[in-house]
Amino acid sequence: MTVNDIVDLRSDTVTRPSPGMRQAIAEAEVGDDVLGDDPTVKVLQVRLAELLGKEASLFFPSGTQANQTGILVNTRPGTEAICEANAHVLHYEFAGAAAWSGVQLRPVATEEGVLTADLARPYIRPESPHLMRTALICAENTHNMAGGKVMPLAVLEELRGLANEHGLALHLDGARLWNAAAATEVAAAEFAAQADTVMVCFSKGLGAPIGSALAGTAEAMARAHAWRKRLGGGMRQVGILAAAALYSLEHNVPRVAEDHARAKRLADSVDALDGFRVVAPDTNIIMIDVERDDLTLGDAVSFLEERGIWISATALGQLRAVTHLDVDDDGIERACAAFEELAAR
Ligand SMILES: Cc1ncc(COP(=O)(O)O)c(C=O)c1O
């Protein structure tokens, strides 16, 4: 089996740059971005700020560094930030909020990964000489560990209202904001308008090899620029990556709904099999419950892998498959067939 025979559904981060993207990378005008010279980075940052309706944006090497910078610019050490209980900032960023910002994250359990104002409200600390101050709400849209769950705009608007009532900032982890926008047919800018800072990734469903960004006010981005430098995120002739990000905005944002349709096809097919349960995905992430005592998650992953279908098992005890621009209809049909074989085993 060659690499091209593998249907890699482990994550939407596994995409490889397409020939068109590689050409854009090759032709990118570059300069030293630490000296403020890279023209392609400048174009990207202006274009993204426009797209998200923010004053400014800043290119980052990773979503993690951009999220952490978002927390840094919205808080002070010794304050608290509220997030959903399975949020990326809480579980997968190496306690960055504690390490860099000196901020305690306060998780809020939800049924389906959607942090509503009603669920968050009781977690806001009252003013008291005995309690730390709540400074920030972190929202995640779509929610990765909740299976690409969309936070509807109305829910985010209510969170914004709650933040305003209590003088809190709101950071939006929009690693997959493009997916939320495609699924709801609401512009990314409308979601971003509710947040003080918004992080987006080019390196997930959009197919760029590296790259994320943070957007917000010009003043917040000036402080974010200093933090990025302090965190070691200053990059030199990084226009080659900004060119990939620009290419991804132009060519790959309009196609993410295709990934959602393919995720639905796979989810419906697996859900119809005995011993497997799948909640219909909102976007491109499929979480599969295995309800068979004779099949471990590890065995299921290995069985599928032998047939060229790569998926993962999560810490939450589910199988996880993610569609993206390197998986076509044929790949999805092969995945459906492999699951049928697994169910019949
Ligand atoms: C919701 C969410 N936020 C942030 C990140 C971090 O992005 P990166 O891997 O670029 O650091 C991820 C990565 O998967 C994610 O899913």
Q: Which of 199, 223, 252 is the last residue of a domain?
A: 252
**Are both 275 and 186 inside the same structural domain?**
no
Provide the pLDDT confidence category of residue 4 given band limits of 50, 70 and 90. Answer: confident
Show which of 252, 279, 307 is a domain's final residue: 252
**Over the chain, what is the mean pLDDT?**
97
Query: Residue 59 above 80 pLDDT?
Result: yes
The per-residue pLDDT for range 298-324, each reduced to its tens digit, is 999 999 999 999 999 998 899 999 999
Going by alpha carbons, the residue nearest to atom 8 of ligand 1 is 63
pLDDT at 222: 98
CA of 94 to the centre of ligand 1 (A): 12
Nearest CA to ligand 1 atom 4: 63
**Residue for token pair 């499929």:** 286
* Residue 224 near residue 216 (C-beta atoms within 8 A): yes
Residues 91 and 158 in one domain: yes
Could you tell me if 284 and 323 are in contact, meaning their C-beta atoms sit under 8 angstroms apart?
Answer: yes
Residue 247's contacts (CB-CB under 8 Å, 6 or more residues apart) are 20, 21, 24, 25, 208
pLDDT in tens, 67-94: 999 999 999 999 999 999 999 999 999 9
Which residue, among 274, 260, 255, 272, has the nearest Cα to 322 in the 3D structure? 260
Whether residue 109 is found in the same domain as residue 234: yes
Q: Is 144 a pocket residue for ligand 1 (Cβ < 6 Å)? A: yes
Total domains present in the chain: 2
Q: Are residues 132 and 274 in the same domain?
A: no
Rounded to an integer, the average pLDDT of 266-287 is: 97
Q: What is the pLDDT of residue 297?
A: 97
Specify the pLDDT at position 2: 77
CA of 62 relative to ligand 1 center, distance in Å:
8
Distances (CA, A) of 247 to 30, 162, 186, 258: 15, 37, 22, 18
Task: Give the pLDDT band (50/70/90) at residue 279.
Answer: very high
Residue 1: predicted pLDDT: 74
Pocket test for ligand 1, best of 13, 88, 149, 322 (most atoms within 8 A of CB): 88
Domain match, 116 and 202 both: yes
Domain of 284, CATH number, reads 3.90.1150.10
CA proximity to 215, closest of 46, 35, 43: 46
pLDDT at 3 over 80: no
Q: Is the dihedral of CA 38, 196, 12, 18 positive or negative?
A: negative
Q: Is 63 in the pocket of ligand 1 (CB under 6 A)?
A: yes
Of 190, 228, 177, nearest in space to 73 by CA = 228
330 and 181, same structural domain? no
288, two tokens: 């599969």
Same-domain pairing of 218 and 271: no
Q: Is the pLDDT of residue 168 over 90?
A: yes
Whether 140 lines ligand 1, by a CB cut-off of 6 Å, is yes
- Ligand 1 atom 7: residue of nearest CA: 63
Instruction: List pLDDT tens digits, range 189-225.
Output: 999 999 999 999 999 989 999 999 999 999 999 999 9
Same domain, yes or no: 326 and 233: no
Asked if pLDDT for residue 122 goes beyond 80, the answer is: yes
Cβ contacts of 344 within 8 Å, gap of 6 or more: none
Domain that holds residue 326: 3-14+255-344
Element (DSSP H or E) covering residue 198 = strand 197-201
Task: Taking residues 144-149, report their average pLDDT.
Answer: 97
- The enclosing H or E element of 243 equals helix 239-251
- Say if residue 309 is in the same domain as residue 231: no
> What integer is the mean pLDDT of 274-297?
97
Residue in 62, 324, 17 with CA at minimum distance from that of residue 179? 324
- Predicted pLDDT at 316: 86
